[in-house]
């Protein structure tokens, strides 16, 4: 290996090499931290909500003048549930991931000044667990007789609730889900008993740090603008969406059907920012890698052109085309290696600063070596063309005087 002479020769012409090494270091710093952020955003946008989103959609009925909302809602639900292809349906006060809804402070009843946890409040009936396909991990579902109507001006909450596992863990950190069932809590100032725990049901607010804290209460909201969440049999959702929209509009003329969205669409809209940010950062990463690759290519091309005579001399002295190729690959390896080592230090330091300053996600342990390998491979790829060009230099170049 001729690393020593190549390194010493590089030191004699270090300006270009240093510039490329610094560019590689900068690229690695940005790419690694951008990758962490992309990963964070993509993970956030892809995290499960707890319900079967693939087959579920929702819509809202908006009546100008409803005489008896209870009748309308019951009739609507009955009609929807009887529609072929519908697995189940329920009325909800708000839709998961929709970024709008109700919340209240939840705390345990015992103890002095217990911590209060903000939780989303879902008013549902006894069909909620089946409709959303939630996983009940302890306790029981609501009975049909638990479900009561809630008037718009009414306050307070029912005494039987189902909460999520995450909220249960916050409230009773030492209890298992099974032992949490039956415990007493306060919803605002309303006392309630936990009758069941579901594995997951995210709150509507995708940016909330308490997104996993939700409470289901057995209530149906008496409103002229009810929201229905409908789960179709697998593969039936897209057919049913316009069909049920038309059916509801037909059943009670004078009302509008609004906000007809699949849960996939709800998720897409809710995580637009995260998806957009990930795409922009991804674009920046690609451009940066491209620019770095072109920089290496440019430097290598210039280096080959500048050293045509020198390559000819080396060939005359016994270098095979493979030796020439290896020379340029090793030279590039030295430049990129110094760049990636500097870049790894810079990336980690920058990441630590970001973590401390703004709760930025940490680079995974494998991120740094992976990034280093990618940039070294990029360097080798970029230098391949010029190195092959150098291999084409005839050894007879050594005897040319011009």
Partner 1 sequence: MLDMKGIARIYQTDLVRTHALRDLTLTVNEGDFTAVVGPSGSGKTTFLNIAGLLEDFDEGSYLLDGENVAGLNDRQRSKLRNEKIGFIFQGFNLIPDLNVFDNVDVPLRYRGFPAAERKRRIEEQLERFGLTGRIRHFPSQLSGGQQQRVAIARALAGDPRFLLADEPTGNLDSASASGVLDLLEGLHTSGTTIIMVTHDPALAARAPSSIHLQDGRVVGNDEAAA
Residues in touch with partner 1 (CB under 8 A): 2, 4-5, 8-9, 12-13, 309-310, 313-323, 394-396, 398-399, 401
Which letter does DSSP use for residue 394 in this model? -
Of the two residues 293 and 395, which places its CB atom closer to partner 1 in the complex? Answer: 395
Cite the DSSP H helix spans in 13-114. Answer: 14-46, 69-82
Smallest distance, Å, CB 310 to partner 1?
Answer: 5
The helix (H) or strand (E) run that includes residue 386 is helix 367-391
Burial class (CB in 10 A: 0-12, 13-18, 19+), 4: exposed
The answer to whether 218 touches 230, Cβ cutoff 8 Å, is no
Q: What is the CB neighbour count within 10 angstroms for residue 159?
A: 15
Q: Cβ closer to partner 1: 362 or 400? A: 400
Shortest Å, Cβ 360 to partner 1 = 43
Nearer to partner 1, 17 or 28 (CB): 17
Length of the chain: 402
CB 115 within 8 A of CB 107: yes
Rounded to an integer, what distance in angstroms lies between the CA atom of residue 91 and that of residue 226?
A: 7
CB of 33 to partner 1, least distance (A): 36
Residue number, 71 or 317, with CB nearest to partner 1: 317
How far apart are the C-alpha atoms of 258 and 105, rounded to whole Å?
30
Residue 367 CB, shortest distance to partner 1, in Å, is 36
Nearer to partner 1, 79 or 325 (CB): 325
- Measured from the CB atom, the residue of 227 and 326 that comes closer to partner 1 is 326
Could you tell me if 397 and 315 are in contact, meaning their C-beta atoms sit under 8 angstroms apart?
yes
Nearer to partner 1, 16 or 114 (CB): 16
CB of 296 to partner 1, least distance (A): 19
Pairing of strands 56-63, 86-92: unpaired
Element (H, E) at 164: strand 160-164
CB of 308 to partner 1, least distance (A): 13
Q: What angle do CA 217, 221, 225 make, to 5 degrees?
A: 140
Mapping DSSP to helix (H, G, I), strand (E, B) and coil, where does residue 189 land? coil
Residue closer to partner 1, measured from CB, 17 or 51: 17
Closest distance of CB 19 from partner 1, Å: 18
Inter-residue contact 57 to 260 (CB < 8 Å): yes
CB of 398 to partner 1, least distance (A): 6
| CB 53, CB 132: distance < 8 Å | no
Query: Angle, nearest 10°, between helix axes 321-358 and 3-12?
Result: 70
CB closer to partner 1, 355 vs 398? 398
Which two three-digit tokens encode residue 284? 């920046």
Residue entry with tokens 């929807």: 80
Q: How far is the CB of 293 from partner 1 (least distance, A)?
A: 25
Nearer to partner 1, 81 or 309 (CB): 309
Least Å from the CB of residue 351 to partner 1: 38
The residue (of 4 and 100) whose beta carbon lies closer to partner 1 is 4
Residue 129: C-alpha distances to residues 87, 133, 156, 240, 317 (Å): 12, 5, 23, 21, 81
* Least distance in angstroms from the C-beta of 300 to partner 1: 15
Q: How far from chain centre, in Å, is Cα 196? A: 29
């Amino acid at each position: 290996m001729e690393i020593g002479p190549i390194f010493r020769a590089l030191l004699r012409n270090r300006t270009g090499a240093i510039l490329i090494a610094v560019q590689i270091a900068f690229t690695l710093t940005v790419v690694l931290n951008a990758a962490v952020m992309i990963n964070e955003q993509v993970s956030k946008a892809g995290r499960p909500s707890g319900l079967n989103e693939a087959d579920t959609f929702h819509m809202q009925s908006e009546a100008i003048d409803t005489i008896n909302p209870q009748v309308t809602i019951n009739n609507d639900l009955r009609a929807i549930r009887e529609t072929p292809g519908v697995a189940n349906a329920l009325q909800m006060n708000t839709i998961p991931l929709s970024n709008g809804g109700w919340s209240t402070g939840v705390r345990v009843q015992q103890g002095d000044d217990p911590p209060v946890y903000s939780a989303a409040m879902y008013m549902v009936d006894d069909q909620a667990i089946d409709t959303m396909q939630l996983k009940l991990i302890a306790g029981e579902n609501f009975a049909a007789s638990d479900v009561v109507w809630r008037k718009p001006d009414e306050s307070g909450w029912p005494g039987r609730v189902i909460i999520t596992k995450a909220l249960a863990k916050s409230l009773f950190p030492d209890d298992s889900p099974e032992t949490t069932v039956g415990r007493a809590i306060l919803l605002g100032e309303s006392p309630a008993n936990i009758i069941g725990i579901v594995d997951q049901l995210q709150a509507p607010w995708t940016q909330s740090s308490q997104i996993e804290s939700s409470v289901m209460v057995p209530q149906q909201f008496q409103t002229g603008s009810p929201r229905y969440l409908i789960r179709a049999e697998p593969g039936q959702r897209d057919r049913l969406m316009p069909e049920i929209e038309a059916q509801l509009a037909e059943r009670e003329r004078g009302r509008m059907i609004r906000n007809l969205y699949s849960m996939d669409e709800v998720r897409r809209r809710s995580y637009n920012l995260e998806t957009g940010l990930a795409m922009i950062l991804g674009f920046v990463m690609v451009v940066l890698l491209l620019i770095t690759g072109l920089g290496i290519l440019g430097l290598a091309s210039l280096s080959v052109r500048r050293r045509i005579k020198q390559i000819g001399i080396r060939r005359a002295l016994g270098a095979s085309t493979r030796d020439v190729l290896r020379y340029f690959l090793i030279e590039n390896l030295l430049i990129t290696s110094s760049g990636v080592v500097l870049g790894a230090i810079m990336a980690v330091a920058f990441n630590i600063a970001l973590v401390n300053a703004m709760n930025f996600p940490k680079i995974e342990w494998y991120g740094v070596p992976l990034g280093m390998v990618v940039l070294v491979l990029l360097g080798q790829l970029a230098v391949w063309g010029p190195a092959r060009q150098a291999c084409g230099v005839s050894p007879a170049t050594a005897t040319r005087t011009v």
